Structure 1
Amino acid sequence: MMDAYTTLEQAMAEVAAGTRIAYLGPDVSALSGGTAPMTPQALCARIEAEVRPPRRASGNLWAVAQYVESRKFRATLDDIVRRAFGAAPERANPVHDWLARMRPPMVVDTWYDDGLLRAFGAADWGLVQGVNRNGERIDIFTRTYDRAGQELPAADPAWQTLIYKPHGMARAGSSFLLSDSDYVEVLTEIDIQTPIPVEVQRRRTGRPFLFAGCRFDDQMLRIFARQIAKRSGSGHIAVIPGALTRMEQRFLDNNHIHRLDLPVEALAEVLSVPEG
């Protein structure tokens, strides 16, 4: 049986070869350093520092966001979150930069920062991101952009890499899902795959996932991960360090995900090992 580092190294080689899909959480973004919040708890604390929620909501990111949206209007929530992610990172992100060099068919990035997009730069890629429906007059779940930021009606099958940010992005001109109301219709439809773009569904077919830098200790996060990986390949791997909650273990078992008890820094360590 291979040890955890050997398994991770093989999984990352498969990502590079385009036969496995990287599914990134906030801990991967945190490799960039800086002051932006890099956990749901940290983002929740940042919001609560500006708007005090009722005790029943405190500590729950989505409930706190809903309180701010309901009592202080959506623009207030958007402003707090965009300012939280406005500071520049401290350093280059080794995982983002590696993915930009490898240019796999698809990367799923579930955190709100734009680090992965900046790493890809002028490469051949496009973006599909989740959007909230606040103020929208049309029935949409996502918006699609080319690398220049031009909105398109759908993802281009010819793109070398599709970057899929299902929860959106917290920067000016972008939209994101955060409050309970943002997720209501998405979660109602996600089981029949309506919110998941056709090109995302096509590119995941036959490819297992490498989950890295994300936890599954919240029901909403588990639902998104399960539905995004639906009808993909078998043999998923998740890099999750330390003790798991009961529901995390059940999620991994039910979805046949092999867990590697390694820190997210292990990805950077594997990348730093010279070939030979």
Structure 2
Amino acid sequence: MTPELREKLLSGLGNGSIVPYLGPGVLADVINAASGAPIPADSDSLILAMNGDKPMAPKLMYEFPRAAMNVELKRGRNAVSKFLSRTYGETVWTRAAVHDWLKRICPPYVIDINRDTQLQDSYAELPHNLIVGIARLGGSDFRYRLYAYDGVAYHCRETIDPALPILFKPMGTPKPEPSYIASDADYVDYITELMGGFAIPPAVKALRKGKRYLLLGLRLNRDTERMVMADLLHAAAEPAGWVLIEQPSEKERRFCRKVGLELVEADVFDLIDAGRVSQAMPA
């Protein structure tokens, strides 16, 4: 990464012209405060954690939504939700360097496909909007819940205050109330409504026009994450932005060319200048 590009990215993140899009790799340095075990964030580590640190069948190990669907069919949807709430809502984790860095920059709009709460914690001192993705919920045409944070607590809202920062957690979060997109069935419903325009609030549809995006900690080898990302980046500028991948595969190179993302062969820790971490992003 050149100094010129780094300065351009930092400037754009600060003024809101570039939107950070956070994947599992931003949590690469996070560990359990009690045991020292790394946080399960990427697909493989989530599957292992959900299955008592034991691998599942090869066809289920391919992707977390597939493994979560298997658990849901055997033990019910609530079993997956309880696992995610226990992992991200009840376990104490150390802070991620990326989230401390984002807290200092305070971008006005952030998309975070992880299910942990560190992004929300970074904005805990500031009033903000929170958008949480939902799936397979009757009684609503939309696939999101809106909350307003007043500096103390979250409150349900029907509209977004565009003057405040917007945190978008499409795959869910344990707070203020647990809600997750996890299994194949969740993703089928969510992506269908995302493509139809029912998973993004109108204010965000207007806000995102002409934005560029910086994908951080996200590999682009898996179809489900690529489909979600492509729809969330709809109406982006041309080119759409940048993705940081230290050792990209040929599949990732082709996909980036297709969707108009500039591939930067570095990772998020190069950008934030926080030193290297021993745990690399999984391929």
TM-score bin, normalised by smaller chain: 0.7 to 0.9
**Residue equivalent to 1:151:** 156
Structure 2 residue runs of 5 or longer lacking an equivalent are: 33-37, 276-283
Q: Return the offset for 1:243.
A: 3.1
Query: 1:169-200 CA deviation, whole Å, 9 max, x = no partner?
Result: 14572201010110112222322322122222
CA distance in 2, matches of 1:172, 1:150: 8
Q: Is the CA contact (8 Å cut-off) linking 2:154 and 2:176 kept in structure 1?
A: no
Runs of 4+ in 1 over 4 A off after TM superposition: 50-55
Structure 1 residue aligned with 2:246: 241
1:28 to 26, 29, 47: 26
2:176 matches 1:176? no
User: C-alpha displacement at 1:209, in angstroms?
Assistant: 0.5
Aligned equivalent of 2:230: 226
Cα distance in 1 for partners of 2:55, 2:41 equals: 21
2:16 corresponds to which residue?
A: 18
Distance 1:184 1:224, change over 3 A: same
Aligned partners of 2:78, 2:206: CA distance in 1, in Å? Answer: 35
Change (3 A) 1:58 1:104: closer
> Are 1:57 and 2:55 counterparts?
no
Contact 1:68–1:76, Cα closer than 8 Å, also in 2: yes
Tell me the percent identity.
Answer: 24
1:112 to 112, 115, 126: 115
C-alpha contact (below 8 Å) 2:253/2:263 kept by paired residues? no
Give the partner amino acid of 2:136: R
Is 1:139 the counterpart of 2:137? The answer is no
State the Cα RMSD in Å: 2.3
Which blocks of at least 5 consecutive residues in structure 1 are unaligned? 272-276
What is the CA distance between 1:269 and its match in structure 2?
A: 0.2
Specify the SS of the correspondent of 1:57. Answer: helix
Asked whether the 8 Å contact 1:106–1:203 carries over to 2, the reply is no
* Counterpart contact for 1:237–1:259, Cα < 8 Å: yes
CA spacing shift, 1:31–1:10, aligned 2, 3 Å: farther
TM-score (norm 1): 0.87
| Alignment check: 8 A CA contact 1:252 1:258 kept | yes
Matches within 5 A, 1:69-218: 69-85=72-88, 86-90=90-94, 92-133=95-136, 136-147=138-149, 148-159=153-164, 161-170=165-174, 173-218=177-222
